[in-house]
Each structure stands twice: as structure tokens, then as C-alpha cells.
Amino acid sequence: MHEDTNDDGRSSRGVEQGDREFLSLERELTVLLRRARANQGEMAREVHPDLESAAYGLLVRLEECGRQRATELAAYIGVGKATMSRQLRALEQLGLVARAPDPADGRAWLVDLTEEGRSRVSRVREARRERYVSTFSHWDRTEVEELARLLHQLNRGMEK
């Protein structure tokens, strides 16, 4: 199907001829993000039935990076200190994280996964990895690697 363009280079729908790829990108990212939010909620419930969806990323960060200050976690996740404190209290009540005084600064606390939290997060992440292996089994491994590289590039660019 061919769209008519106006004198200013816009299609009859008001889209720049050279911007179609960005509209396609926006559409595909919207679908991806919607599915990712739904998957994150499922994974959170697999870790613990009472776990908030947003807290799953926090647990993954702790599994990958080890103990951290709440302020570092808040900055990474992109939430305020009050929100982070609320999430950490909920995770502590579920037995998934524990806080301990920071030996480098007695005023600060370090947050880490409990053994129970580490076990649950690892189990869910392994199941997710297996789903990815199955989902992408028909892809060449270099394509999977390229997708990961491009997503990393996208994520780094969005941090700025």
C-alpha cells in the first residue's frame, strides 16, 4: 500500500517519509515492554506470591551485584528513597532480603539477599533462561548474541 505525500514530505497520515522506521521501532518497543511487564509480574509471583512486580528487578540486581546500599539500589532502579525503603521493608517481611550495617559507614545499611531469597531468585531466573533457550531455539546463536548486544546498546543509551 502506498501513501500519498504532501508538499512538505509528510504522508497523508502526517508521518515523515524517513520516520517510518522510528514508528516501527516505537510500535515494537511498546509490544516488548508490555510483554516484559506481564512477564515480570509472573516471575515476581514465582519468587513469592506476595511479591510486587516492581521488586523483582531489585532482587535480580542484588543477585547479580551482591549487597548494596539502599541509595545505590534506588538510583539503579530509578525510584526515590521513600519508595525504596517501602520496597525493602516488604522484601524483608517476606524473608527475601536482609539489611546489615555498612562497616565503611555506620550510618548506612547494606542490603543483600537472604539464602531463601537467593534460592528463589536463582530458580526463577534459571526457568526464564530455559524459556529463552526454547523460544530462540530456531535462531542462530550469533543472532541471539546480536539481539543482546543491541538491547544492551539501547539500555545504555537510555541511561543518559
Instruction: Specify the pTM.
Output: 0.77
Average pLDDT of the segment spanning 9-37: 80
What CA–CA distance (Å, rounded) separates 39 from 124?
Answer: 11
Long-range pairs for 14-18: beta carbons < 8 A, 24 or more residues apart: none
Helix H or strand E encompassing 16: none
Q: Looking at the predicted structure, is the pLDDT value of residue 144 above 90?
A: yes
14: left (phi over 0), alpha (psi -120 to 50) or beta: left
The CA distances from residue 97 to 56, 62, 79, 111, 140, in Å, are: 12, 9, 18, 7, 38
Q: Looking at the predicted structure, is the pLDDT value of residue 155 above 60?
A: yes
Predicted local distance difference test score (pLDDT) of residue 108: 86
Task: Give residue 158's pLDDT band: very low, low, confident or very high (50, 70, 90).
Answer: confident
Predicted local distance difference test score (pLDDT) of residue 77: 87
The crossing angle, in degrees rounded to 10, of helices 70-77 and 55-65 is 120
Q: Looking at the predicted structure, is the pLDDT value of residue 42 above 60?
A: yes
φ, ψ for residue 108, nearest 5 deg: -100, 160
Q: Looking at the predicted structure, is the pLDDT value of residue 160 above 70?
A: no
